Amino acid sequence: MIARKFFFCLLLIATTAALAQPDSLAQEKPIPPARAASAGTNYPPETPQLIEAAMRKYPPTERDVIYGTANGTDLKLDVFQPKRSSKKARKAVIVIHGGDWAYYDKTVLAPISHYLQKHGFVVFSINYRSVTETANHWPAQLDDAQRAVRWVRAHAAQYNIDPDHVGAFGHSAGGQMAALLGEQDTRDNSDPALAVYSSHVQSVVDASGPTDFLAFKFPIDTRILTRLMGVKAEDDPRAWEAASPIWNVTPQTSPFLVVHGKNDHTVYYTQSVTFVDELRKQGVPVKFVTTNDGHIYSTFWSKYKLATNTVRFLRQTLAE
């Protein structure tokens, strides 16, 4: 369902000149499920050299900041702060990577994080618990993403951000999580240190995210989703609905930018078409941008459209 071959050059768009010269980082290999389970994390063990290469090319201001713990696992994020100081509080963006809710790492979205940083946003690119066959089933990933948003708001003064102007960007599985951040508030608010902070974001960019779990019919898709949910759809369809953004749209849902490739054979383009229709029915402000690319934004123009529309949309929707 979510692409197993993920380019570290996914969103190489730091400048228009850079867009014209595709990155040369090698293709990342998929992580076998057994190895991912033993690692207990979504860090890709086969490609540490590519992780380090990405960090050298797009270095975060702070790396591996712990924003919480869950079942003994440290939850980490990278911070990308604009180099120029600002007396005025900046807008923040939570960036969420994809990978079947089981694979990869926050590093794969370092290029888009760097791009947003250059355009004045304070970016927090997060890791979350990786699902395995036996552990970290949904909604562990949503709980982690919501914790990250609340942690960011709790540290607003430290990072000079406006806690009332926080957006989310997600690709693929990360798009599904980002969407839910714009639709609902905290599910598990048992942490007293963060209880006063909302996890609802004011703006969402959903790039190629799955929006209706019950609409996936192919065996590989349903296996991935059953592993995530820990239960088959026929045994608990309401749980699958609750995890699907299309079933959570209300008139109070935050504005959306939805970006999807018409040739996406991993998360089908129709997922975004029906989701955008539902957003519009509910009166939610939404912009729908399509490309002729697939699940991964690999061409110059698809990267350009994603990058420029993301910055423009976040500036508009996170404005005063």
pLDDT digits (tens, 9 = 90+) for 292-320: 999 988 889 999 999 999 999 999 999 86
- Give the residue-averaged pLDDT of 71-89: 94
Q: Which residues contact 197 (CB under 8 A, 6 or more apart)?
A: 149, 150, 153, 154, 163
- pLDDT value of residue 164: 97
CA distance between the termini of the chain: 38
- Whether the pLDDT of residue 139 is over 50: the answer is yes
- pLDDT value of residue 220: 80
Tokens 């989701």 belong to residue: 275
- Per the model's pLDDT, the better-predicted residue between 91 and 46 turns out to be 91
Residue ranges per structural domain of the chain:
16-317
- Whether the pLDDT of residue 44 is over 90: the answer is no
Q: 3-state SS of the chain?
A: CCCCCCECCCCCCCCHHHHCCCCCCCECCCCCHHHHHHHCCCCCCCCHHHHHHHHHHCCCCEEEEEEEEECCEEEEEEEECCCCCCCCCEEEEEEECCCCCCCCCHHHHHHHHHHHHHCCCEEEEECCCCCCCCCCCCCHHHHHHHHHHHHHHHCHHHHCEEEEEEEEEEECHHHHHHHHHCCCCCCCCCCCCCCCCCCCCCEEEEECCCCCHHHCCCHHHHHHHHHHHCCCCCCCHHHHHHCCHHHCCCCCCCCEEEEEECCCCCCCHHHHHHHHHHHHHCCCCEEEEEECCCCCCCCHHHHHHHHHHHHHHHHHHCCC
pLDDT digits (tens, 9 = 90+) for 24-39: 222 233 333 333 332 3
> Domain 16-317 is in which class?
alpha beta
pTM above 0.75, yes or no: yes
Nearest to 51 by CA among 69, 63, 67: 63
Distances (CA, A) of 153 to 156, 195, 223, 231: 5, 11, 36, 33
- Whether residue 228 contacts residue 101, with contact meaning beta carbons closer than 8 Å, is answered with yes
